[in-house]
Structure 1
Amino acid sequence: MNSKAPVRAQAVGIQSLEEFLRKMEEGAQTRKWDALLVFDRAATNALLTQEYIDRIDIKEGFFPELKDGVVDSGNGIKHFLNGLVLDKPRLSFENATIGYSKGKLQMRLVGGKHLEVIESLHNGQRFNSVTALIIYNAATRGILDMNIELSAVQGSVNDSGKVLLDLKEGEDHEFSGGATGPERIRLGVYFKGQLDSWSEEITQFPLSEMVVDANSPINPGVFGLRTHAAPGGALLGSENFGEGAVLVLVAMQGSETGEYPHDDSAMPYMLPAAVEPYTSNLILSNKFMASQIFQLGFEQNEITKGRFNVEALPGERFKLVANSGPTFSTTLEIFKTRSGGLGSEAWTNNMEVTDLYPEVFAEGSELIFEQRMLKGHLRSSGRVGYVNASWWSTWRPGQAFWEIYADLTIELAYKFNIAVVDGRAKLVFELDQYSSSVSYRVDIPADQGAKSWREMAKEIEAELPDLLKPRYQEQFDALQNIRFEIDALRLNNLLFRGENVVDPRDVSMPTDLTLLGNLAPKRTTMVISPSEPIVARGGVIEFSVSPASTGVNWTVSNLPGETGDTGSFKDPSVGRYTAPSDAALLKEGQRRLIVTATSGELVSKALVSVVPNHITVSPLVAVVGVGRSFAVSAGTPDGAAVTWDTPELGTVGPDDDPVNPGGYKYTAPLELPIGDGTKPGHYGELRLDEVTVRSVGGHSAKIDMLVVGSKSSNYWMEPEVRDDGKVALPFYKLNKYKEKVKVPEPIEWTVLRGGGSVDQDTQVYTPGNDGNDQYVIISAFHVNDDWFDSHDYVILPLPFVPGPAYTNILNGVKISHGLEEV
């Protein structure tokens, strides 16, 4: 069964198929595991991505909806995480070396908000104020990464057939993208805390699902995962660095686990070289084949049922040895006579055969693995019946029974072939070679040496083969007709969800059974690129497939159960896609769609995330003191480069913080310029510095950096959200007796960002009618002749978060309205 796997270069030094099989003939290679599943790492990751897209609409039991949380990073700064939305988990294999096998579980942060809050003390009381706002969507490329050191991870198959990988041992939790380096580490710790607090039912990641078959020996119980470097694949700088395979080491239910190889050289590389590369291999151990597969198959045939035991040989090899032999009985009529002499010298000799009990094979006959098959050397040598010899003469009549012996030799060779049974590729065990021979001998005692007896015995010996052939043939046919099927390929469901995910090509039994093939060629031969793009509404993506193919048809659809404009391919034969631009996207925040490329039987899919904006910035707004810096970032849906304009007051440049590699930072000026008398009173100590970032496509976005100079801690506002949506902003100070009093008039109120206004008399802020505002920045300055730092400011995160949530933040409530401190 051939497949259309792509022809790609394989690592120099990989064994040819014949070299690989000769290596396998040296002895068992599964290190006492019942089975090994071996997959090309690149093909594995490609298929896992496709299966991830296939099941994107399926509700998973993994990672429940995250609670809102508070991460305390010290120094009075807390991070409030509100409504974080993670997409479904995806598994990939990140390297290819047995000594340090590494997997990665990855989830994208596709929604949610992040508020940075600082705590200050006024009049002996604690007050919280917002200092930064961050919003997440797909374009921020927020990713939760969790490394899985595969040497510490053991999977299992539960009673319902779910294939589980327990991630309690995950490490290096890190949130990347969108936030600063410190946030990545802190949020990673937060997610780890969430994971550690969950029950085993949640932390067991469902890789796949298998149907448990009580009648099959192919029922895995425990499995381990490793990656295996191709020859040269672990050598930094080599042409093949990183190339390799994913290993699934399997112990069936009721079996003990095997040994893990300590390095790449401890096990042959299980994907031999070929013009059409192999991307999968299923290896069943010699012991498992002998004790489970063959024993089960032979139990289905009466002639072999219960007649073979498994015996060990050196080198983890095994053979089947007959503990008894089947016999049959047959009735026949052979009569031979000789006579002679006259008168008193007359004599008559008779030989008669009526019943025989031949043995098909004897105890000790063997079935052994040799010449890449299971070969039977069946022998039987023994008595099968008697000749009734009688004689008459005038001087000495008599009778005797002389033994008949048969020498039987049967040479059989069975092998597995690949066949499609009920729509599924299966291994079929059947006869490949057969020969038999049988000879008979009548054992006449030495003292019965008359020539007539020898002549009659030879005639009987000559007739027996033809007379017994029909009865023997029934037994021979039973041996030749031994045939059974193994659905061994169902083991692939340990890692993959689809059926028939492997197209098998070549099967052999050098010692262990090896079944080489191609991993899901219809899903991995043609690969769509990009596979998970992000695009702004109305934007364009140029899709392509690799290897390049003609006759590709392009379609786009909503996720099952969802509605909305999908965008379109103007020409379905060209991969140029235009994203939707409907107004609903502004409210949804993002929309995910599935793009499908089809060419004949080949199919590849991409998951498209459509976001409202062409540039996403982080943070939206932040407070920074004079001379201080704050990490900033910006991303475009297509990942293109951006440029930063020089702000009016501060500077933007690369961040030298090692935990923010490749990032940027805003640095405030050492001091704020003094106004010329025409500017507001706060001008010299509080300024809004807009930071503009631009994409090559001409789009732009802004970050508000609120630069704070001198500010007296004796002046502060105490925001209070009212039921009508307005916010009271009472403005206080400490007098010379350290008493809390209201700041007297005149007070200069300024809305630095956003709409709405502050009533001078009531000190109440009324929001404006502009529904696009996510936040408002307001300053209050006590106009006087003595002090220049008599002011305060507030960032109202409304409607960035609901009013009650903001109230809880202000009040420092640990658990309320879904905000839980960790």
Structure 2
Amino acid sequence: MIYDRARTNQLLAQEFVENLTSTDYFPPFSSVEETDSQNKTVMNNFKFDAPVLSFTNSNISRSRARLSMKITHGQYISFNKPLGSTDHSVVSIATVNALNAPSLHMDIDLHATSNGNIVDGEGQVLLDLSDGENHTFGLSSSGDRNRVLGLAIEKHFNSWSDESKRFVLSRIVTGDSGLRPTSFAIRTHSLARSGEKPEEDNTGEGAVIIGVAMNNEPNGNFPVQDSDLPYLLPDDAPTPIRMNILLSNRIWFSELLKKALAYFDKYTDIKYSLHKNSRGFLDGIDLNHAQSSYLGTTYDVNPPRSIFLPVGGAWDGYIEYQLRQIFIRPQPFDFSGIKVRFNGRQMTVSWSGEHPVPAVTFLKLVGQTGRDLYGNSHLTFKFNLESVYDLHIAPTGADIGKLVFGETSTTRSFDLTGQWYWNAPDGQDYLRNWLAESWSVPFRAYCQTLTDTSRNIDALMLDNLLFRSDMRGVPRLIEAPGDMTLLGHLAPDKLHFALHPATSVVSASSSLQFLLESAPAGVTWSIELLPGEFGEKGSISVNGLYQAPSPGAVPEQGRRVKVIARKDQYVSQALLYLVRNDVSVYPSLQVAQHSHTRYLLVAGSGDGKLLKWGVTPTSLGSVRAVTELDHEDMDIPDAQDVQIYVSPPVPRPLPTDWRAAVHLDQITVTGASGRTQMIDMLVLWSNPVCWFETEYVAQGVRLRMWLAGRSGPIEIFPDEADWYLVKGAGELKDGVYKSTGSEQGYAIIVAIEKSERFLNYAYIVLPFPLIDLKTLKLVDQTSTD
């Protein structure tokens, strides 16, 4: 099968929306990863949408595809371990959702998946996720750290059972077709490099080729270079060709032959030969021998025919007899001489020859005494039958898309010659008619077998190797000069017009205007929740303006909604991720170094409008747009609103409270509704020489402060330090922080030793839900002292 690459990706995206359900495709993912020798990352309860497949290039020697999975929920926290401490320290905290989170991308080398299989009787078409590579996950501004996170997810996938890590592309239902795909391989092919259009580049063009081995036959090989293969989607037709299903001559002809010979299962001593055309392709079947049961009958002539036979030696008189019966002696019936020939889109079935007819003729005397007469007649039946069929594709009905034959002409001729008993030729018409029917009935049945066989060659069944829709391809041209090619459209019901945007995130109470590309007049709009989900879904106008429900009607984890535009049989769908807030930021907290150090900040807008970035009046740092310099050493995510935070220099003189150790800058991100989300930037004026060790108590944490000494760590007791709750809704007393359960994700605590000579301080960020800073595992907050 050959498909237009751009249309293939568009259809796969449509099918992703169409088949999305509320059931998790993957189980939630949690992991603790060491991103370098001093740093670790916790990914907690990450939820992924179902994967969507796309083909990313057109190159038969380096064919690539990509699986992309959007994150819909999760918490991402980075840690390091201060020198001397047994506990980790929080570096950044981010809550990710559909509005601000990146997607996980998994590249697939299609050369490594050549052994993809259609397994078991259910016909599942599988792509092994263990063949994926270059797992990219843009959670960090560090490319190295993102690769570590991607490898962690790759390792997680590889730990699953073989069955779990197989991505089900689709499911094939073979029905009554004898074509049973058993293995396949996928490549992409460039139009430009094929030599067909040398002036064009490779941007956005190309084809997806799926090679299929049938019925457990061995796989073949693809050409090495794009130029070694003609481009198989001709673009010189009045309507562009988007699909080509190419069946090898041997495959489709052997299927036809198998059914054609099945007609003679009840016969014995079957002999046949295959015919090839001048180019070496199979194009015909010659039946040389197929012996049936014996042919014989007694034929009553009704009404009887009068026959006057001469009497007397001088032939001077006649006696009237009546022809009453003709008895044909039983003898083997042979089907030899049947021929089938293909010529392009035309099939000719013919049967000609001669057959001896040993007959006994019965005559009854009329009106006189005497005896009745009978005797042998030695006859020869000559016949010539031919039916010509045109091969085409059923345009409508139950057989739509299947190959069918339409009879275009029929030729029948019969002759009966030889010597009749007593020269009684008047019975010849009767016998000829009976013999003509005796030969015509099996010939018609044989032709019917061949045309029924053609309908069973359901080439469109192979569409299910890649697509799930009921109607993927619609052929409109067919040729069979040797190999059989079906040329036509790819899923016109789903790609007739396009709905934009295809995927978007919308916040509560906001609106989104959908646009239609190449749509006919009279499109109707509707909204659906995913199967198994309940709740408000918003509304859409007759002009495609979507209005989201109020914030109270949207759950905290969000909701997914399908928007459907339909006109007659044509349909296009889009997916909306509903979120409660119109602004989402990433990270929510970042520990920063001073003096012009850069940090990546990401935000998402739920109403599609520009966000306003700023700083609070007490902030010392600044935010700015991304520059080319930033791209050189930072991973900048696509399709997100990204800014760069630049930290301030150390102020002189330092303040006298907790601000002598750290400073809390706050970045403001404001949406069109006026709602503002904050990003906390905790700037350290110096590297702390103290640290905290934690002990978890009921509803909180006991903090023990330590200082590195010459002989080892020295504990600084609670009354030897000044304690500050920089951020948090709980209570801080005597080194114990008690949570009220209303924290906005984390609390920040600073303690400074009461020393006039040195600034010995420690800071800690306590994420909620609480995480054991030794093991980086969630803490049971119901525990007691």
Place the TM-score, normalised by the shorter chain, in its bin. 0.7 to 0.9
1:689 maps to amino acid: D
The answer on whether the counterparts of 1:231 and 1:269 sit within 8 Å (CA) in structure 2 is: no
Structure 2 SS opposite 1:368: strand
1:432 aligns with 2:408: yes
Structure 1 SS opposite 2:222: coil
2:157 maps to amino acid: L
- C-alpha displacement of 1:745: 4.5
Q: 1:139 aligns with which of 92, 99, 102?
A: 99
Structure 2 SS opposite 1:53: helix
Change (3 A) 1:309 1:132: farther
- C-alpha displacement of 1:583: 2.8
The answer on whether the counterparts of 1:38 and 1:270 sit within 8 Å (CA) in structure 2 is: yes
Q: CA RMSD in A?
A: 4.1
1:687 aligns with 2:657: no
Alignment match, 1:447:
none
1:519 aligns with 2:486: no
Alignment match, 1:581:
550
Change (3 A) 1:361 1:526: farther
Q: 2:683 aligns with which of 707, 710, 716?
A: 707
The answer on whether the counterparts of 2:402 and 2:457 sit within 8 Å (CA) in structure 1 is: yes
Distance 1:475 1:578 in 2: 67
Q: 1:99 aligns with which of 45, 52, 61?
A: 61
Distance 1:542 1:382 in 2: 78
The answer on whether the counterparts of 1:644 and 1:694 sit within 8 Å (CA) in structure 2 is: yes
The answer on whether the counterparts of 1:591 and 1:611 sit within 8 Å (CA) in structure 2 is: yes
Structure 1 SS opposite 2:16: helix
Distance 1:267 1:387 in 2: 66
- C-alpha displacement of 1:289: 2.2
Alignment match, 2:286:
321
Aligned residue runs from structure 1 range 518-597, under 5 A = 518-569=489-540, 572-583=541-552, 585=554, 588-597=556-565
Alignment match, 2:766:
796
- Superimposed CA distance per residue, residues 706-751 of structure 1 (whole angstroms, 9 cap, x where no aligned partner): 11122342x222233321x222222232455445232575533222
Alignment match, 2:592:
624
1:731 maps to amino acid: M
- C-alpha displacement of 1:309: 4.3
Distance 2:99 2:481 in 1: 52
1:376 aligns with 2:369: no
- Superimposed CA distance per residue, residues 595-615 of structure 1 (whole angstroms, 9 cap, x where no aligned partner): 222223322221111223333
Q: 1:777 aligns with which of 731, 742, 748?
A: 748
Alignment match, 2:440:
473
The answer on whether the counterparts of 1:233 and 1:243 sit within 8 Å (CA) in structure 2 is: no
Percentage of matched positions with identical amino acids: 27
Distance 1:183 1:739 in 2: 31
- C-alpha displacement of 1:343: 6.8
The answer on whether the counterparts of 2:536 and 2:553 sit within 8 Å (CA) in structure 1 is: no
- C-alpha displacement of 1:78: 0.5
Alignment match, 1:11:
none
The answer on whether the counterparts of 2:194 and 2:230 sit within 8 Å (CA) in structure 1 is: no
- Superimposed CA distance per residue, residues 478-529 of structure 1 (whole angstroms, 9 cap, x where no aligned partner): 3454441326133322222232444443444333333344333222213211
Distance 1:361 1:487 in 2: 29
Distance 1:637 1:291 in 2: 58
1:513 maps to amino acid: M
Structure 2 SS opposite 1:719: strand
- C-alpha displacement of 1:664: 4.8
1:164 maps to amino acid: L
The answer on whether the counterparts of 2:351 and 2:385 sit within 8 Å (CA) in structure 1 is: yes
The answer on whether the counterparts of 1:310 and 1:318 sit within 8 Å (CA) in structure 2 is: no
- Superimposed CA distance per residue, residues 381-404 of structure 1 (whole angstroms, 9 cap, x where no aligned partner): 56555899xxxxxxxxxxx99975
- C-alpha displacement of 1:337: 10
1:764 aligns with 2:766: no
Aligned residue runs from structure 1 range 343-358, under 5 A = 355=328
1:720 aligns with 2:687: no
1:740 aligns with 2:722: no
The answer on whether the counterparts of 2:345 and 2:479 sit within 8 Å (CA) in structure 1 is: yes
Structure 1 SS opposite 2:130: coil
- C-alpha displacement of 1:73: 1.3
Distance 1:772 1:698 in 2: 23
- C-alpha displacement of 1:795: 0.8
Q: 1:148 aligns with which of 108, 111, 117?
A: 108
Aligned residue runs from structure 1 range 433-452, under 5 A = 433-439=409-415, 442=418
Aligned residue runs from structure 1 range 293-442, under 5 A = 293-296=256-259, 299-300=262-263, 307=270, 309=272, 311=274, 313=276, 315-325=280-290, 328-329=295-296, 355=328, 363=336, 365-381=338-354, 383=356, 385=358, 404-405=379-380, 407-414=382-389, 415-418=391-394, 422=398, 426-429=402-405, 431-439=407-415, 442=418
2:680 maps to amino acid: D
Distance 2:347 2:334 in 1: 17
* More RCO (CA 8 Å, sep 6+): 1
Change (3 A) 1:431 1:116: same
Distance 2:86 2:692 in 1: 12
Distance 1:460 1:550 in 2: 71
Deviates more, 1:660-669 or 1:146-155: 660-669
Distance 2:260 2:355 in 1: 28
The answer on whether the counterparts of 1:616 and 1:634 sit within 8 Å (CA) in structure 2 is: yes
Structure 1 SS opposite 2:131: coil
Structure 1 SS opposite 2:599: strand
Distance 1:239 1:254 in 2: 38
- C-alpha displacement of 1:335: 12
Change (3 A) 1:343 1:605: closer
Q: Give the total of aligned pairs.
A: 737
Query: Per residue, is there more strand in 1 or in 2?
Result: 2
- C-alpha displacement of 1:50: 2.5
Structure 2: tracts of 5 or more residues without a match: 318-324, 362-374, 781-785
Change (3 A) 1:45 1:718: same
Deviates more, 1:495-504 or 1:75-84: 495-504
Structure 1 SS opposite 2:385: strand
Structure 1: tracts of 5 or more residues without a match: 1-36, 347-351, 389-399, 445-452, 818-822
Aligned residue runs from structure 1 range 85-234, under 5 A = 85-122=47-84, 126-153=86-113, 154-176=116-138, 180-211=142-173, 213=175, 215-230=176-191
- C-alpha displacement of 1:250: 2.3
Structure 2 SS opposite 1:729: strand
2:138 maps to amino acid: S
Structure 1 SS opposite 2:349: strand
The answer on whether the counterparts of 1:210 and 1:490 sit within 8 Å (CA) in structure 2 is: yes
Alignment match, 1:19:
none
Alignment match, 1:29:
none
Alignment match, 2:651:
673
The answer on whether the counterparts of 2:141 and 2:634 sit within 8 Å (CA) in structure 1 is: no
Alignment match, 1:31:
none
Distance 2:509 2:28 in 1: 30
Distance 1:329 1:513 in 2: 43
Distance 1:659 1:308 in 2: 74
Distance 1:583 1:233 in 2: 57
Q: 1:729 aligns with which of 695, 703, 716?
A: 703
Deviates more, 1:688-697 or 1:488-497: 688-697
